[in-house]
Amino acid sequence: MRSRAFTLLAVLFVAGSAGLGAAEHAVSVPVSTLSHIHGVAFGPADDLVLATHHGVFAVDPAGQARLISEPHDFMGFTRAGPDQLIASGHPSGGGNMGVLSSNDGGAEWFPLADGVGGPVDFHAMSVSPADPEVVYGLFGGIQVSRDAGVTWAISGPAPADTIDLAAGPDDPGTLYAGTMDGLMVSTDFGASWTRSGPEGVPVTAVESTGSGETYAFFAGGGLFRRSDAGLWTALSEDFGQRVIQHLAVDANMPNRLAAVTDASAVLISEDAGKSWRPVAQ
C-alpha cells in the first residue's frame, strides 16, 4: 500500500497549460488539459478556481479554464473567507513566495508574510472554520498564524510524511493531518498528535467545513465524512486506483464538493461526496 500510494502521489503530467502566460488571460482551454493542479476552491461567486504549476485558472460551467493570474506556481491554496483566497508557492522565476492573499477570486495577489524561516513555501495550508484568524501551514514543521496570516510561529513538528492539513470545524486548536501512515489529529494547535483512524492507510486529502463535518480520503478505501458527533461514514468507494489529492467544500452550498484526483481529473459532487461527475458533464 505504501509503495503504491507513493507512486500515485509522485505522478507528474504533461502540462497542457504550460504555454499560457500572463498576457494570455483571455485564452480558455478545456479543464481536462490542465495538469500539475495544486489546489481547488470555490470562488466568491461559487465558481471553481484551480491553483496550478502555471497560475490560477477560473473554470466556467462549460468546463473551460481561463488563466486569470500571473503564471506562478501556486501551492497551499485555499479559501480564507467569502472574498479571500490565500496561497503560497513559487514565483515563475524561482524561489519561494511566502504567504499571499487575493481578494478578487485569484487574479491579483499581494504578500501577507514571509512565515518562519521564510519566505516559506507552504505546500499545505488550512484556515480554521471555527476562527478564520487562525491559519496553519506546513514548512519546517507546523506553522500557525493567529492574525489571519500576518504573523507566524512554529507550533510543533508535523507528523512524518504529511500530505495535507485541515483545521478542525469546531475548535481552532484542532488540526488534522493526512499522512502516508494514516490520519492524525492535534488538539493543541499542532504541538502534539494522536492517531484518528486506521494505521498504514495513506490519507491523501482532508478538509473541514463550517457546518461541522470533516472529510478525509483514504487511499484504497474511498472518501469518508466525520460528523460533529465524531462518527465516520463511508461516502464514495468507487475510485479504484485513483486518489483524491485536493478537496474543497462550497461554503454557501455545503452539499457541493469539488475534488482533484491524481490524474488531474476535476470532479464535482452535489450530494456531499456520495456521487461524482466530471466538471461540465
**Spatial CB neighbours of 204, under 8 Å, sequence gap ≥ 6:** 5, 8, 9, 163, 164, 178, 217, 219, 243, 244, 245, 262
Domain span at residue 156? 2-270
pLDDT at residue 251, rounded to an integer: 87
In a domain, 231, yes or no: yes
Domain membership of residue 279 (yes or no) is: no
Does residue 109 belong to any structural domain of this protein? yes
Within a domain: 277: no
Cβ atoms < 10 Å from Cβ of 221: 16
Q: Is residue 158 part of a domain?
A: yes
Render each residue's pLDDT in the chain as its tens digit; 281 residues: 333 333 333 332 333 333 333 434 557 889 999 989 999 999 877 689 999 999 999 998 888 999 999 999 999 999 998 889 999 999 988 899 999 999 999 999 999 999 999 899 999 999 999 999 999 999 999 999 999 999 999 999 999 999 999 999 989 999 999 999 999 999 999 999 999 888 899 999 999 988 888 999 999 899 999 876 677 889 987 787 889 999 999 988 889 999 999 999 999 999 999 999 998 76
Answer yes or no: are the C-beta atoms of 196 and 185 closer than 8 Å. yes
The CATH number of the domain holding residue 62 is 2.130.10.10
pLDDT at 12: 29
Element (H, E) at 7: helix 2-9
**Predicted pLDDT of residue 17:** 34
Helix (H) or strand (E) holding 5: helix 2-9
Question: Distance between CA atoms of 42 and 24, rounded to whole angstroms?
Answer: 23
**Residue 40 located in a structural domain:** yes
Please indicate, yes or no, if residue 276 is contained in any of the structural domains: no
Flag whether 132 is in a domain. yes
Q: Answer for the pair 110, 94: CB distance below 8 angstroms, yes or no.
A: no
Q: How many domains does the chain have?
A: 1
